[in-house]
C-alpha cells in the first residue's frame, strides 16, 4: 500500500513558474507543504536539489504518493487530471488549443528569455542591463500576445472561464512589473491581469504573500 502525505511544492516566492503552480493548487483547493528554494543564492543548483530536479529549476512538485514532477505545464495538466473539479482546460478541442497556444507563448517564447540563469550569465549583477534585457523581451512577447488575446479574450484569456492560460498570464505580468515594462501598449493583458488579481486564488499565490518573501521587502503600513 502507498503511503499518502501532503503534496510538496519546492518553489521560490519570486519565481513566476512557481507562481503558476501555486495558483493552480489554490484553484483546486489542494493543501500542500511549501518548501522554499532560494534561486537568488543558487540553491536550485545544490547537489541535494539537483538529485530531485536535474534541470536545477523551480518549481518541483511531489505528489501525495511521493512521485516527482517537474515542468509547470506537466504539473498543471496532472493536477487537472487527478483533481477534475474546477477544470483548467476547456473540453472543446479548438478552445483548448487556443489555451495551449497562449500557455506556450508565455512558457516557451517569453519566459525563458528573461530567466534568472540567462540574465545572470549575460549581465552578472548589472541590474540596469538585466532590466533593459528582460523588459525588452517581455514587451516584445506581449506585443504578439496582446493581438492573440484580442481574438480569444472575454473576461479572461479565453472566453469567460478561468483556464490554464490565465494561470500563466498573471505571473508573467507580475514579472513585467518587476522588470519595469511599460504596460500602456497592452490594455487587454492589463485588464485581464487586474481582474485575475481580484480573485483570492491569484492574489494569495502572489510572491508578496509567500512565507519566503523577504522581511526587508515588506513595507511598513
Ligand X SMILES: N[C@@H](CCC(=O)N[C@@H](CS)C(=O)NCC(=O)O)C(=O)O
Closer of 87 and 117 to ligand X (Cβ): 117
Instruction: Please pick, from the candidates 69, 103, 107, 165, the single residue that binds ligand X as defined by CB under 6 A.
Output: 107
* Shortest reach from residue 91's CB to ligand X, in Å: 24
The whole-angstrom separation of Cα 208 and Cα 88 is 24
DSSP codes, 129-140: HHHHHHHHHHHH
Closer of 101 and 195 to ligand X (Cβ): 101
Are the beta carbons of 45 and 59 closer than 8 angstroms?
no
Cell numbers describing residue 160: 469567460
Nearest-CB residue for ligand X:
117
Query: What residues numbered 62-101 form the site for ligand X, per CB under 6 A?
Result: 71-72
What stretches of the chain show up as alpha helix (H) in DSSP?
16-28, 47-52, 72-82, 93-104, 116-123, 127-152, 164-178, 187-196, 200-203
Listed ranges 88-96, 112-120, 157-165, 195-203: which one lies at the site for ligand X (CB under 6 A): 112-120
Contact string 21-40 vs ligand X (x = CB under 6 A): ------------------x-
The whole-angstrom separation of Cα 127 and Cα 119 is 9
205 is a site residue for ligand X (CB under 6 A) = no
Contact set with ligand X (CB under 6 A)? 15-17, 39, 44, 57-58, 71-72, 107, 115-117
Amino acid at each position: 500500500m502507498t503511503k499518502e502525505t501532503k503534496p510538496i511544492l519546492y518553489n521560490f516566492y519570486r519565481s513566476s513558474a512557481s507562481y503558476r503552480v501555486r495558483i493552480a493548487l489554490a484553484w483546486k483547493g489542494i493543501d500542500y507543504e511549501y518548501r522554499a528554494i532560494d534561486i537568488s543564492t543558487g540553491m536550485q543548483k545544490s547537489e541535494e536539489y539537483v538529485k530531485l530536479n536535474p534541470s536545477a529549476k523551480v518549481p518541483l512538485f511531489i505528489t501525495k504518493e511521493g512521485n516527482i514532477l517537474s515542468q509547470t505545464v506537466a504539473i498543471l495538466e496532472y493536477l487537472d487530471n487527478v483533481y477534475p473539479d474546477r477544470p483548467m482546460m476547456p473540453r472543446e478541442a479548438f478552445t483548448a488549443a487556443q489555451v495551449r497556444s497562449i500557455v506556450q507563448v508565455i512558457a516557451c517564447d517569453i519566459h525563458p528569455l528573461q530567466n534568472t540563469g540567462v540574465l545572470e550569465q549575460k549581465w552578472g549583477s548589472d541590474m540596469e542591463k538585466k532590466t533593459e534585457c528582460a523588459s525588452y523581451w517581455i514587451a516584445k512577447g506581449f506585443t504578439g500576445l496582446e493581438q492573440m488575446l484580442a481574438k480569444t479574450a472575454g473576461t479572461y484569456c479565453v472566453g469567460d472561464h478561468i483556464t490554464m492560460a490565465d494561470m500563466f498570464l498573471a505571473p508573467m505580468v507580475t514579472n513585467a512589473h518587476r522588470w519595469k515594462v511599460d504596460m500602456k501598449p497592452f490594455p487587454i493583458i492589463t485588464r485581464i491581469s487586474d481582474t485575475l488579481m481580484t480573485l483570492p486564488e491569484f492574489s494569495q499565490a502572489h510572491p508578496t504573500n509567500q512565507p519566503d518573501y523577504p522581511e526587508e521587502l515588506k513595507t511598513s503600513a
